[in-house]
Amino acid sequence: MSSTVARSALASLPRALKISPSTPITRTHLLALYKEQLRVANSFSSYNFRQYFVRRTKDKFRLEVPALLDAVEQQGEAAVEGAATGKEGVVEALKQAAQEAAPKEESPAEDASIYSPTSTPLPAADSAVTASSNSPQDALREWYTESLSELAVLARSAIVNQMYEAPRLVVEGVGQVVATGGGGAGQEAR
């Protein structure tokens, strides 16, 4: 992706998500990114797409962020005791968000469903992020930047999905009309 395309894709993102390269990523940045990804995922008009992207967003933040934050926290504790307190707040906030979003106990039949969250993280992507970075903060920044570009793509996809929204079925409407009367071959439901 060229820099002009990336710049124009990031231009439409909310201000809270845009940070300078010298600013450390904080709890506020991660929570804003999480909320924005959930908002965009919920904007899909198609039920299946909407549920898939909401589930994928929650899984991404449950599986990838805690490992990156633990590494940042360990680095912060080793370097400066005062800097670690801010990172502990981020870890606590994301762990709390993961617990709130965690699925409730389900029956074994539902666990085998295609809608159950994936339990296997992608080790290749995670190791590629950490291997290419010098420090845990750099790895977190790279993950954040990658997530912003994915968010821009997701937002464009949601707009296209809304453009091609099909008419709803009669059974999907809130005020269902039931045809009454004798009706024959010519009677149509309204």
Residue type, position 160, single letter: V
pLDDT band at 50 (very low <50, low <70, confident <90, very high): very high
pLDDT of residue 100: 62
pLDDT band at 185 (very low <50, low <70, confident <90, very high): low
Closest by CA to 66, choosing from 47, 51, 88, 44, is 88
Task: Give me the residue spans of the domains in the chain.
Answer: 3-172
- Measure the CA–CA gap between 52 and 157, rounded to whole angstroms: 13
Please write the tens of the pLDDT for every residue from 5-18.
444 444 466 776 77
Percent of the residues in the chain that have a pLDDT greater than 70, as a whole number: 50
- Measure the CA–CA gap between 133 and 146, rounded to whole angstroms: 13
The whole-chain average pLDDT of the chain stands at 71
